[in-house]
Structure 1
């Protein structure tokens, strides 16, 4: 008389292989994320360089507009100077024009420094982009291999699920439900063998002699007194 746990034990072997594959499939996105995280430092530096360049460009644009405004002001003063009625008025315009031209000179000196800073900023951005592209190229093969591995595992898992369904159909339904419940709870084994010396193959605790004997009886389904796993003691 065959033991009803034989097909269940065979099913568990299939489930163990399937669980391992499904776990690897679930782990691949995190592995990809860990690889991509290697780029985070360079990305951060690039973002900072881009922000700095944009800020410099905006400041330079503001300076240029202010210089244009002051130049228009100088032109306006010079036109008014030509219409001056007295020497005092003429000298007053000369003074105002000088003040504004000094402001223009100071702003133009700032513009030169900003343009130098902008060129440096562009060089830093280019350097960061080159480094980031190099790092991306370096990890692209790893990411592609993981994608290929995921596709391969998924295909294998689908085939194993079909095989698993056929094996499950050969099992006693009530026993299959009990097996599934324990497996979901323990996450490793639901059916364990009796180890030499009469120990449970799951928790390794010493089993009572009666349990060891009943685990070989095909008319009885017994569980470990300590961990609750189904104990199987096939005939040698």
Structure 2
């Protein structure tokens, strides 16, 4: 049997196909809702761990820089102390005051260099201790986040395992059905569905109102929806409208209005007296 062209479908057939597609897609949404915020929580933890690991690398790099600086300063101290020893030895062989003053100034300068290097080494030591504390805090935080991530992934995997097979079946059914729907109509349906808060691109008319936004639909438009002569949308929310009978949904009956009881009008005492006087006359 030749496959029916989507453009040859009647309005009723198009609406039925869209409603069935909406049913499949809503079921898929429900499966995904079961996962809740878990995928986002897993992603947030992964991003946080990536940031923490980058921070860890930075701290380790800073600690290494301080240690290299300490080694460098110790080398400078050794050089300065060697110079001081040499200058002191030369002091014993000076021949005039000028040479003595020059050597004394060099010794003083090198001594200041040694003091400055020792100060830098001490400061670097303090900074290394601070960075070590930051490193330990970061490592503890990473361990905590890794444990939380493992727990969330396990929870997500369990839920995924429960819903994956059924969700895949629904996706296959939806894809098969989409091939039977006119391309332009399908694009419009998906666009409407994407913009709808509850994911409904097509909705049933119930109690004279749109099932998506619950706004009242004019009687004439309700009649047009029942006639199935063309695809109609809600003038408020833009969702495609379908009547309950075509969708196979039991219509919700509106509450019948209770007949209004006539209120008895009581005659006032004055009015009663007037009536009696008129009778006597």
User: Structure 2 length as normaliser, TM-score?
Assistant: 0.60
Aligned to 1:233: 243
Query: Cα distance, 1:204 vs. partner?
Result: 2.4
Contact 1:193–1:233 under 8 Å retained in 2: yes
Cα shift readout 1:50-79 (whole Å, capped 9, x = no counterpart): 465345334423422321221231243245
Q: Which moved more, 1:62-71 or 1:31-40?
A: 31-40
Number of positions where the alignment pairs a residue of Structure 1 with one of Structure 2: 227
Q: Distance in 2 between matches of 1:140 and 1:189?
A: 34
Q: Which of 131, 134, 144 is matched with 1:135 structurally?
A: 144
Q: Deviations over 1:141-176 (max 9, x none)?
A: 24423762696466654432212133445x5x44x7
TM-score between the two structures when normalised by the length of structure 1: 0.69
| Contact 1:214 1:220 survives alignment (8 Å) | yes
**Alignment gaps of 5+ in structure 1:** none
Closer, same or farther: CA 98–19 of 1 in aligned 2, 3 Å: same
> In structure 2, do the counterparts of structure 1 residues 180 and 46 end up closer, same or farther at CA, with 3 Å as the change threshold?
closer
Which deviates the most, 102-111 or 61-70? 102-111
Structure 2: tracts of 5 or more residues without a match: 1-11, 251-281
1-structure distance, mates of 2:26, 2:90:
94
1:6 is aligned to: 16
Pick from 190, 193, 197 the counterpart of residue 201 of structure 2.
Answer: 190
Alignment of 1:73-84 (within 5 A): 73-81=83-91, 84=93
Q: 1:178 to 1:119 in 2, by over 3 A?
A: closer
1:48-87 correspondence runs (5 A): 49-50=59-60, 53-81=63-91, 84=93, 86=95
